[in-house]
């Protein structure tokens, strides 16, 4: 039986809603109570007996903290639903975004500006804050980081070790309130590293304290300066609190002939921003501005630029010349593979509720197979290759593995777990797409028995041996929040890929 696009979109909304409700450990009754609905209403929406409204979707997103996933699915459904009626009979607009009790601090609007003047960049950030929590707010954490060579992390690290950013040069200033009512904010250092700083902006000064009490609003503004020798050609904003509106602005000398573009970065990939930047000229400055409403939590938005003018400062693409360092991980990151250090790689993946979440499972597998194809265009995997959903930013229990034999179909794993293994083991060098600059000697059993699910919910047990057993074990480890380095002997050393002598060879059995 076929379904229409609108029915599929509705199914995807319901799947996302149920998935996040289970993830948060809530019953339908508990979710309804938090959302302010009758307990039967959530059941009716999940059962497709009621159509979701904008208000329902906003409340579900706010209560479940889904990072925008529920809201995105609703928007996709809503666009299809109203395209069929040419936009007629839309739900009445929601005048104010609903917030669950105790939400905490909300950024109602942020405007972040970076201006270049006389060899230095001055960053100014304004945030309009609303305390939707139940406790007074007495301080606000501001994070500051620089990256002189953003496309050469090793070069940047060397540069900032030799030329550390200091508070003395930054001239940090902060204020709360607007106009004549603005109060200077004291600040305290939380973190002080060569290329990154964290400071607490205190709702206090020498005249006393002025906490932001529940239900109150205020504006804060903080600014700092960084010389051009320590600032690369990018300006990034990370969404760390629920935010309703974000604007990023650059002010650069028009004579530098700047060319500017925008990038949206998530855990899964980097893509161009979805709307164009606006440009205008004022007083000899080229001003570039980009805005978005309701940015996703944990998303990062970055403006990058290059100068084409003859009198513009010269920026090297990489750091000072040093012996070549491995860059394989940069290529992996470039196609959306999450790298070691991300918290997501240390989280246990959520199992699918099959067959109810069959659509979501198929979508995850499709994304994995697409990424696998991109990987095989980028690198020759003579030992075979596997990819877990967590490595592309999807924290669900799905993985695909392509055996060493190139003409063999990939193995698809849903909700897998090892239920048996041989006592006989061997040690072989392994690599990892999330840690691709090194190889490590890892002991694993020569045979494993794996219980896994089909899309219809039935479970089967499959036996894998030798190379395929190693590949499968590696991916199941990913779904359990484990990396291959965790299985290495305590005295074993990682081998840089430049020194590894077995690239292009299959494992030896």
Query: Residue range 421-425: average pLDDT?
Result: 92
316 band by pLDDT with thresholds 50, 70 and 90: low
Q: What pLDDT, on a 0 to 100 scale, did the predictor assign at position 91?
A: 55
Q: What pLDDT, on a 0 to 100 scale, did the predictor assign at position 32?
A: 87
Helix pair angle (28-35, 39-46), 10° resolution = 120
Q: Which helix (H) or strand (E) holds 387?
A: strand 385-388
Active site residue 475: yes
Percent of the chain with pLDDT over 70: 89
| Contact (Cβ atoms closer than 8 angstroms) between residue 165 and residue 156 | no
pLDDT at 324 exceeding the cut of 50: no
| Alpha-carbon gap, residue 391 to 436, rounded angstroms | 13
Task: Tell me which of 198, 254, 475, 480 is the catalytic residue.
Answer: 475
128 band by pLDDT with thresholds 50, 70 and 90: very high
* pLDDT mean across residues, the chain: 85
409: which DSSP letter?
Answer: P
Q: What pLDDT, on a 0 to 100 scale, did the predictor assign at position 55?
A: 81
pLDDT at 96 exceeding the cut of 60: no
Q: What pLDDT, on a 0 to 100 scale, did the predictor assign at position 468?
A: 94
User: What is the per-residue pLDDT across 246-304, written as a single tens digit (0 to 9) for each?
Assistant: 999 999 999 999 999 988 876 545 678 878 899 999 999 999 999 998 787 778 899 99
| Alpha-carbon gap, residue 287 to 253, rounded angstroms | 9
449 band by pLDDT with thresholds 50, 70 and 90: very high
The dihedral of CA 246, 251, 252, 258: what is its sign? Answer: positive
User: What is the per-residue pLDDT across 230-250, written as a single tens digit (0 to 9) for each?
Assistant: 998 999 998 888 888 999 999
389: which DSSP letter?
Answer: G
The pTM assigned to this predicted structure is 0.53
Q: What pLDDT, on a 0 to 100 scale, did the predictor assign at position 155?
A: 78
> Which region among 25-34, 335-344, 429-438, 446-455 has the lowest average model confidence (pLDDT)?
335-344
| Contact (Cβ atoms closer than 8 angstroms) between residue 375 and residue 335 | yes
Burial classification of residue 448, based on how many CB atoms lie within 10 Å of its CB (0-12 exposed, 13-18 middle, 19 or more buried): buried
| Contact (Cβ atoms closer than 8 angstroms) between residue 471 and residue 400 | no
Q: What pLDDT, on a 0 to 100 scale, did the predictor assign at position 321?
A: 45
pLDDT at 95 exceeding the cut of 80: no
């Amino acid at each position: 039986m076929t379904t229409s696009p609108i029915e599929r979109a509705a199914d995807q909304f319901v799947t996302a809603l149920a998935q996040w409700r289970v993830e948060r450990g809530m019953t339908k009754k508990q979710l309804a109570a938090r959302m302010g609905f009758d307990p039967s209403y959530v059941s009716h929406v999940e059962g497709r007996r009621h159509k979701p409204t904008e208000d329902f979707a906003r409340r579900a997103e706010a209560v479940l903290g889904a990072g925008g996933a529920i809201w995105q699915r609703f928007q996709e459904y809503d666009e299809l639903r109203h395209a069929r009626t040419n936009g007629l009979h839309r739900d009445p607009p929601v005048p104010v975004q609903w917030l669950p009790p105790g939400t905490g601090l909300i950024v109602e609007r942020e405007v972040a500006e970076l201006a270049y003047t006389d060899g230095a960049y001055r960053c100014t950030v304004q945030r309009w804050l609303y305390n939707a929590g139940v406790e007074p707010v007495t301080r606000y954490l501001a994070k500051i980081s620089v990256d002189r060579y953003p496309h050469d992390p090793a070069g940047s690290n060397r540069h900032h070790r030799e030329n550390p950013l200091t508070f003395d040069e930054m001239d940090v200033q902060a204020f709360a309130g607007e106009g004549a009512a603005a109060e200077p904010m004291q600040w305290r250092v939380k973190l002080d590293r060569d290329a990154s700083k964290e400071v607490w902006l205190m709702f206090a000064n020498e005249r006393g304290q002025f906490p932001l009490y529940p239900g109150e609003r205020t504006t804060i503004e903080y600014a700092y300066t960084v010389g051009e020798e320590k600032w690369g050609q990018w300006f990034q904003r990370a969404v760390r609190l629920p935010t309703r509106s974000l604007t990023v602005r650059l002010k650069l000398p028009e004579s530098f002939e700047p060319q500017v573009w925008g990038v949206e970065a998530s855990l899964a990939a980097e893509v161009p921003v979805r709307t164009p930047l606006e440009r205008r000229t004022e007083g000899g400055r080229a001003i570039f501005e980009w805005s978005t409403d309701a940015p996703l939590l944990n998303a990062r938005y970055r403006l990058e630029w290059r100068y084409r003018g003859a009198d513009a400062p010269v920026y090297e693409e990489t750091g000072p010349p040093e012996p070549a360092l491995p860059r394989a991980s940069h290529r992996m990151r470039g196609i959306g593979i999450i790298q070691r250090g991300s918290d997501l790689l240390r989280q246990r993946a959520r199992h699918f509720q099959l067959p109810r979440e069959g659509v979501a499972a198929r979508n995850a597998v499709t994304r994995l197979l697409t990424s696998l194809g991109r990987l095989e265009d980028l690198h020759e995997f003579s030992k075979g290759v596997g990819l877990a959903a967590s490595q592309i930013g999807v924290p669900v229990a799905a993985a695909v593995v392509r055996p060493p034999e190139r003409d063999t179909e990939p193995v698809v794993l849903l909700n897998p777990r090892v239920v048996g293994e041989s006592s006989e083991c061997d040690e072989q060098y392994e690599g990892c797409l999330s840690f691709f600059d090194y190889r490590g000697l890892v002991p694993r059993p020569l045979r494993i028995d794996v219980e896994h699910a089909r899309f219809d919910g039935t479970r089967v047990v499959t036996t894998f041996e030798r190379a395929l057993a190693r590949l499968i074990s590696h991916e199941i480890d990913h779904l359990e929040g484990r990396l291959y380095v965790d299985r290495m002997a305590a005295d074993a050393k990682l081998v840089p890929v430049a020194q590894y002598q077995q690239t292009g060879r299959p494992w030896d059995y």
